Structure 1
Amino acid sequence: MSSSFVVHKFGGTSVGNVAAMNAVQTIVANLTSDKIAVVVSAMGGKPKVTDLLISLVELAKTKQTQEIQSIIDSIEKKHAEAVAELLPKAVGDEIMAQIRHDLNTLQELLHAISIMRSYNENVTELVSGHGELWSARIMTQVLNHHLQLSGKKERFAFIDSREVLTVEIDPNHGPVVLYEITAAKLRARMEAMKNATHLCITGFICSTNEGVVTTLKRDGSDFSASIFGRVLKAASITIWTDVSGVYSADPRRVPEAKILPQISYQEAMELAYFGAKVIHPKTMAPAVLESIPIFIRNTFDPEHPGTRIYHRRPPSPTNNAKQIVSGFSTIDDLALFNLEGTGMVGVHGVASRLFNALDRIKVNVVLIAQASSERSICFAIPAKNALDAKEAIEAAFFKELHHGLIDTVTYEAPVSIIAAVGDNMSQTPGVCSRFFGALGRAGINILGISQGSSERNISAVVRFEDSGAALRAVHSSFFLADQTISIGIVDSRSKVGEALQNQIFQQAQWLAKKYKLDLRVRAVAHGPNMKLHSTGFDPASLAEAKVQKFDMDQFLDHVHAGHIPYALIVDLSNGPEMVEHYPSWLASNCFIVSSNLHVASTNLSLRKTMDREAKEREVVLDTEACLGMGVPVLSTIQNLLQTGDSITRIETSWSSVMNSLLLEIQNTKSSVATAIQRVISTQFSALSPNDIIDDLTGVASAKKMVLLARELGLKLNVTDAKLDSPIPIPPTQSEPWTIAQVVSYVGEYESAVASYSHSSRPMRMTTTLNATGQGSISIQVHNIDDPMHPFYNLIGAQCGLAVHTDRHAPYPLFLSGTSFASDTTKGLAASSLFSSVLNIARTLG
């Protein structure tokens, strides 16, 4: 076990109620050190005891007696409830007697204030520090009670820090610790307690050298822990709170924020200065002087290792720009001033006069940037001081303003500072490029820039309304994989949609580890509903997510999150209305993977708009899955064209329902109505009735061939195709088809379909694209009796495609695959869509 003290400080939430105090007792009981100092805050919760105590003083001044009594009663009740549950009655009664005595004393003081109708700061300091006295007394006995029950000899000694922690009040810097006096007093106190090795110390409170009770002000309990860590020459200081460490950014604004396992003292100070809820820089000072590591850990998740704050890490030659930045933080509600003019160039004392003017009105300057030409100085201050600062500056430069040597003093408010923090940033190429590039890609306008010579801070000033998007954008650039894709899935609850989601979930971890590809399904839609997730669904969160009414604009905005590098929408729907949104999706920098065959039936004008948007935005509309073959047809055609080959003709056989129907009739000699009923029920039950009609009439084949034709640059529409199917296109009807209506309609063409059953071999529906000239598409059912024909060995729902080119003559390039239309191939259809997503991902980053 360690021969040095370890200091563990527990904040207000850690001692806020019975459950929290029990958690503290368990944590302390599991410590292996033989010297332990526990520092505690006042009981937290809502409201905090310290806040209640402070409010009493002002209430006394205004003589609000009833309110005072109500607060005192609530304070007593809060502590009494904890004592009753945590301690034996005899011990608890003794503590409550002391608390009631203190409350009575406070009431007498408050009564005096109500008579005088005034008070000073010393009174507030005295009253506000009682919460720590009470919680420390309770916690001391809770810890000792457990030690007694465990049969251990050690006992915690209660230390009232007012009796040992001595400070001197500095009007500018607040309480300054007198370490030698404090150490001597603590040493004497511990010797009087037979060199106690277990201490329970009040945080926050202290006394001056004259014995006047005061406090350590903001973050005083953390400061107390650091002070006692230095005085006790502790091996470590652990701050227990309600978060599991220091985050890379505010998790309320950046859902992807991560716990940092370690940061340097200097990085922690920078993050704290720029608003991160870490630990106050002043708190760390005693620990830094003695090189004592500080740990930030979660009382309510004690197994989490938290964040270690320690001395600066040496730069690693292998560190890159992404690895060097530890975190990001912001300061909001600022005003950015600009002082500019030719009369500033080469003039001595301008900066001195400017900042002296601000000093006279006690305004803190947060950021300063000056052009090397000396023509302008910009600086940021709290927005609440903007008007006073403007008047002070105009008064200081009245002469220059009057003679036009300095332009008018201007400022913009509110603005925010986004700060990137990391040791040795100036020694690592690419940090600024990545930081400012992320802001540029997110469309964030930068108002000012500053980088300190300390090498560990880069700051950008942005408009307040842009601060959230800016913070998420820069954080993503450094903490997310370069190939992070936000995915939205339309028609997610179809069988293919569910299969696709499952495949992405199953492969996500492996893809991230193997290829640093981070696929995040953040939005899913089905019919009138949708579900959204800030960081990305997993199976559990998808099942539990709240269902919302589908809103296209909200869906698109969520998928196209500015802080995630890439956005992609997978359209599994089969309606023309969704295709109408493609231009706006592409214009929003969204990639599209579509299996919606209606994309082929769009007019040429709309298709040109899609292609133009895709080209301008450098995104992709991938329609490979529309062909339903499971092999890369479109990319194969593009490879042929790009290598200089010439395609003269394309033949396909991909009417799965019709080809299966013809095979069924050939094998069973049953009626057409019976055959189609059996084919649908056994193979294509997942297809909609409308999709079945499109397949049987050849319309679906025509749409697919139009996609290939347009890939070749031919200006063909579905209406240009010559359809020669035994089942003609039915008249348009207002209501969707039913399966019964499909069977009945097909049965009407018994003789036409049955005539194909007399062939020695099963007939097939084929589609031919003549790619010469302006091109033409023809669809027909015929007998494939030539053994050399590429479709000769196809059976039923199998698909085939033959590409005739100059270089491949006299034999075509032949591709064959399994149809996606059948019930057994939904996983294959999902795999094809997943492959398209991965193909796009390979082009990114």
Structure 2
Amino acid sequence: MKILKFGGTSVANSKNILLVENIIKKEASQNKVVVIVSALHGVTDHLIKAAEYAAVKDDSYLQVVKILEEKHLQLVRELIPVLEQSSWLSFVKKHFNDLEDICNGIFILGELTSRTKDKIVSYGEFLSSNIIAARLLHKGFDCLWMNAAELIRTNSDFTHAKVDVDITEQNIQKYLNDHQNQIIIGPGFIAQDDNNNITTLGRGGSDYTASIIAAAIHAEELQIWTDVSGMMTADPRLTSNAKPISEILYHEAMELSHFGAKVLYPPSIQPVMSKNIDLKIKNTFDPDAKGTLISHSLEKTENEKNHIAVGISNMSHIALLTLEGSGMVGIPGISAKLFQGLNHGNINVILITQGSSEHSITIAIHEKDISAAEKAINTSFADDINLKRIEPVKIESGLSIVALVGENMKSRSGVSAKMFGCLGNNAINIRTIAQGSSERNISIVISEKDTRKAINILHEEFFESEIKQVHLYICGTGNVGSKLIQQIYDQNQYLQENLLINLRIAGLSNSRKMLFSDRGIPEEEYANWIELGQEASVQDFAEEIISRNLRNSIFIDITASAEIPRVYEALLKRSINIVACNKIAASSDFDNYKTLKNTARNHNCKFYFETNVGAGLPVIGTINDLIKSGDKITSLEAVLSGTLNFVFNNYDGSRMFSEVVAQAQKEGYTEPDPRLDLSGTDVARKILILAREAGYPLQFDEIENVGFLPEACMQGSVEDFYEKLTEYEDHFKKLCSDAQREGKILKYVAEFKEGKAKVGLRHVSPESDLFHLYGKDNIVIFKTLRYSEQPLVVKGAGAGAEVTASGIFADIIRSI
């Protein structure tokens, strides 16, 4: 014999009940079956609402009862033929009249007891099971309605009664021996005490009813039919990548259901587990789907044996209560006293952890129990609190429990490190940890606002070996930014296939607009993103990134804004990686530079700015590698401005200096204001950044900048600047001719030696490494303790949107 249980969504309406009928027909063609059904979807909640309205003398209960009555009458009209409806319509009306009478009594008394509440909610399962039985009888099935409440005996602890297993099993066995119908259908959730008062088995109790019956008769199988295709590796409402679990051990299922897996009511597992009866979770709306098999032992494939965990579960609205004090150390009976107090307050403890110093005990409970638990604990330890031996209980709320579950976690080293490492890398602060001696469950308590992020991080780490989701927030969509975005779209397929990385552009911002999408802005929407965006500000953009709290987030600054680096520290403190093309932060006051570097290190995230110097050239990376390997930079000599190199490579006096500068700006080699390049300020920032990365605490004002622009060129607007360049053409011709007379060329050179830095024009001879440098190329010549005689040289294109974008792209990949 098989036991089939159908949940509220499975019997929500006549359409769904016809699906249930087909499933029962198929199963009953091969086996005798007992069918247990829940109330129609939402009915139990509305019954409770009606009772609560009546208790506070709100006559809205009458409307609720009428709505429920009509719902059930309509179900009869849709399932039972017209000629046979009369008796069943009367049946429904009679019981709703009774229900209304009970609510009237509550209204008059202004009191709702647990016993009365159980009586009221019992109508849901009672009516649904009778109507479905009537439908099956009409269709010619050998069907009998069973009043399961009369068979399941409990104590009088109303709303969550405890079952008397021995008497209940005897009642069930006798009833099913006496009634040999092919289909027996009955209500779940409800039972009776020794005085024949209606009791209930707790929310989710219909599963429990089915499990009790299955255990009593040693059923071949228990099937729980619901609206999902079995248990999932995580809550699909929180992670879109949740996968069905095809097979799972009882102990694993117990752990998952205890910590919030909604598919299965935790007490329902115990009866069938003790009798070694297989339990299947199936989908009413996709009956051919495999579902989940829960069993004592499973034949796992080699691949399944390698899976560390089977699922992630979570429970929200959790509070932590901590009892601590020096008076607890070495004193026996403290824990017993604590839990006796909680027991008297009828408080369910979900999780327990205690420091080895015995100085504190922390428990997790439901938030709804905070007041009762606080009172119970402080009352139990009143004397110790008055004597200052123990502190009054401390309370933290707004928390969640997240549990990683799996039999294969037992005796497996590195599981905790992997779990805590990936959470730490994404700024998930763990308030407390609990792991049972069975080692099949690691539970953590975190802030509720981090729940979705934590589950997605863990799911990706333990169940999604294929693809890692990375969320990019790009600030600056100009020339370089637009090239980077296109490179990301073009390269993403390759990254997914070869590096198992999926880059999602989760946010875009310029000086006017910003747009966000957790699932990524698709390429086809990018062209119109400004029209779709909202009004932008730097602070709002940063705050939105933090509030969205997505895993594996990277902030990318492709601007020259002095305002944007002010949000770096707040982002780094949330373990959001930063990739900066913007030089402002790394060349700011040395203390600020060190603060950002230390913040990144302390919060286990990355702060990369390779493109600050040399665009896509590996200059900063080379310095870092040398330092890490124990080398020391003794001097640097470099041409660091692609703009200035382009200008002096193309200016020989045959055409105006202003024309060459304008060409450099047109081709995208200069800043919007070319004076930033030609003044040497940009080069000074670059050599400052290199010196700092080499380990020297240099400030910007310590750099000697030998300028070549007349002071008048630095005044006014960009248009005024170009006019002044024309006026001072003779000055620029003289600079060029002086170098030519010596057989040399002009290069704007940055140098660092003996702790000092200098930038300025230099006459460079043909034998110098700086001489053969063409177009917009950059060069950096490193002298180190190891490269003392023959220097290390990095040379290549040092400007241009494409190469700069590719350097940013490389930093993004490096930071993942």
Q: TM-score, normalised by structure 1?
A: 0.72
Distance 1:602 1:58 in 2: 64
Match of 2:800 in 1: 821
Match of 2:638 in 1: 651
1:520 deviates by 6.8
Q: What CA deviation, in whole Å up to 9, does each residue of 1:506-535 have, x standing for no partner?
A: 767876786677877655543255455668
Match of 2:43 in 1: 49
Distance 1:627 1:529 in 2: 29
| Structure 2 residue 53 is matched with structure 1 residue 73 | no
Q: What CA deviation, in whole Å up to 9, does each residue of 1:66-90 have, x standing for no partner?
A: 6454234322443466677x66xx7
Q: Check whether the contact 2:633–2:782 (CA below 8 A) recurs between aligned residues.
A: no
After superposition, residues 7-406 of structure 1 pair within 5 angstroms as 7=4, 9-16=5-12, 39-44=36-41, 48-56=42-50, 67-79=60-72, 91=81, 94-95=84-85, 98-108=88-98, 110-111=100-101, 114=104, 125=118, 127-132=120-125, 134-135=127-128, 159-162=144-147, 166-171=151-156, 173-176=161-164, 178-179=168-169, 181-183=171-173, 185-186=175-176, 189=179, 191=181, 195=182, 202-205=187-190, 216-227=201-212, 231=217, 233-235=219-221, 237-241=223-227, 245-246=231-232, 248=234, 262-296=247-281, 307-311=292-296, 323-324=308-309, 326-330=311-315, 332-333=318-319, 335-337=321-323, 341=327, 345=331, 382-386=369-373, 389-390=376-377, 393=380
Distance 2:207 2:749 in 1: 78
Distance 1:517 1:741 in 2: 49
**Aligned partner of 1:204: which letter?**
F
Q: What CA deviation, in whole Å up to 9, does each residue of 1:443-502 have, x standing for no partner?
A: 85857x765444444566x6xxx5436867975775444998976534253353355456
Match of 1:148 in 2: none
**Aligned partner of 1:223: which letter?**
Y
1:632 deviates by 0.7
| Structure 2 residue 806 is matched with structure 1 residue 834 | no
Instruction: Give the SS at the match of 2:45.
Output: helix
**Aligned partner of 2:685: which letter?**
K
Instruction: Give the SS at the match of 1:427.
Output: coil
Match of 1:494 in 2: 478
RMSD across aligned positions (CA): 5.7
Q: Check whether the contact 1:366–1:380 (CA below 8 A) recurs between aligned residues.
A: yes
Q: Check whether the contact 1:487–1:567 (CA below 8 A) recurs between aligned residues.
A: yes
Q: What CA deviation, in whole Å up to 9, does each residue of 1:668-718 have, x standing for no partner?
A: x7777777666655x33x96532x443455543443344334445384637
Distance 1:652 1:479 in 2: 48
Kindly tell me: are residues 515 and 60 of structure 1, through their superposed partners in 2, closer, same or farther at Cα, counting changes over 3 Å?
Answer: closer
Instruction: Give the SS at the match of 2:154.
Output: strand
Q: Check whether the contact 1:133–1:160 (CA below 8 A) recurs between aligned residues.
A: no
Match of 1:149 in 2: none
| Structure 2 residue 561 is matched with structure 1 residue 575 | yes
Distance 1:661 1:424 in 2: 67
Distance 1:657 1:408 in 2: 71
Instruction: Give the SS at the match of 1:689.
Output: coil
Q: What CA deviation, in whole Å up to 9, does each residue of 1:45-75 have, x standing for no partner?
A: xxx22233345556678887x6454234322
Match of 2:395 in 1: 413
1:626 deviates by 1.8
| Structure 2 residue 758 is matched with structure 1 residue 768 | no
Kindly tell me: are residues 352 and 582 of structure 1, through their superposed partners in 2, closer, same or farther at Cα, counting changes over 3 Å?
Answer: closer
| Aligned with 1:632 (options 609, 614, 618) | 618
Instruction: Give the SS at the match of 2:267.
Output: helix
**Aligned partner of 1:595: which letter?**
C
After superposition, residues 525-604 of structure 1 pair within 5 angstroms as 525-527=509-511, 529-531=513-515, 547=534, 549-550=536-537, 552=539, 555=542, 558-559=545-546, 568-582=554-568, 591-599=577-585, 601-604=587-590
1:337 deviates by 4.2
1:12 deviates by 2.3
Kindly tell me: are residues 496 and 673 of structure 1, through their superposed partners in 2, closer, same or farther at Cα, counting changes over 3 Å?
Answer: closer
Kindly tell me: are residues 626 and 320 of structure 1, through their superposed partners in 2, closer, same or farther at Cα, counting changes over 3 Å?
Answer: farther
**Aligned partner of 1:389: which letter?**
A
User: Structure 1 stretches of 5 or more lacking a match?
Assistant: 146-153
**Aligned partner of 1:598: which letter?**
I
Instruction: Give the SS at the match of 1:651.
Output: strand
Distance 1:539 1:328 in 2: 35
Moved more, 314-323 or 211-220: 314-323
Q: Check whether the contact 2:508–2:514 (CA below 8 A) recurs between aligned residues.
A: yes
Kindly tell me: are residues 311 and 703 of structure 1, through their superposed partners in 2, closer, same or farther at Cα, counting changes over 3 Å?
Answer: same
Match of 1:427 in 2: 411
Match of 1:151 in 2: none
Moved more, 742-751 or 94-103: 742-751
After superposition, residues 394-793 of structure 1 pair within 5 angstroms as 407=389, 410-414=392-396, 418=401, 420=403, 421-423=405-407, 427-431=411-415, 451-457=435-441, 467-468=447-448, 478-481=458-461, 489-501=473-485, 503=487, 524-527=508-511, 529-531=513-515, 547=534, 549-550=536-537, 552=539, 555=542, 558-559=545-546, 568-582=554-568, 591-599=577-585, 601-604=587-590, 606-607=592-593, 609-610=595-596, 621-639=607-625, 644=631, 648=635, 650-652=637-639, 654-656=641-643, 659=646, 663=650, 680-681=665-666, 683-684=667-668, 689-690=672-673, 692-696=674-678, 698-712=680-694, 713=696, 715=698, 717=700, 720-724=704-708, 729-731=713-715, 733=717, 737=718, 766-773=747-754, 775-780=756-761, 786=766, 790=769
Distance 1:688 1:503 in 2: 22
Q: Check whether the contact 1:654–1:701 (CA below 8 A) recurs between aligned residues.
A: yes
**Aligned partner of 2:46: which letter?**
L
Q: TM-score, normalised by structure 2?
A: 0.74
Q: What CA deviation, in whole Å up to 9, does each residue of 1:367-413 have, x standing for no partner?
A: 66678899987767743333553476359xx7x999x8x94574223
Distance 1:143 1:539 in 2: 54
Q: Check whether the contact 1:204–1:221 (CA below 8 A) recurs between aligned residues.
A: yes
Q: What CA deviation, in whole Å up to 9, does each residue of 1:199-221 have, x standing for no partner?
A: 76644356789987765443122
**Aligned partner of 1:689: which letter?**
P
Distance 1:372 1:785 in 2: 72
Moved more, 204-213 or 695-704: 204-213
Q: What CA deviation, in whole Å up to 9, does each residue of 1:122-165 have, x standing for no partner?
A: 765555344345545776799999xxxxxxxx976665331797
1:768 deviates by 1.7
| Percent of matched pairs sharing the same residue | 24
Moved more, 372-381 or 52-61: 372-381
Q: Check whether the contact 2:616–2:807 (CA below 8 A) recurs between aligned residues.
A: yes
Distance 2:124 2:806 in 1: 62
Q: Check whether the contact 1:295–1:308 (CA below 8 A) recurs between aligned residues.
A: yes
Distance 1:67 1:625 in 2: 67
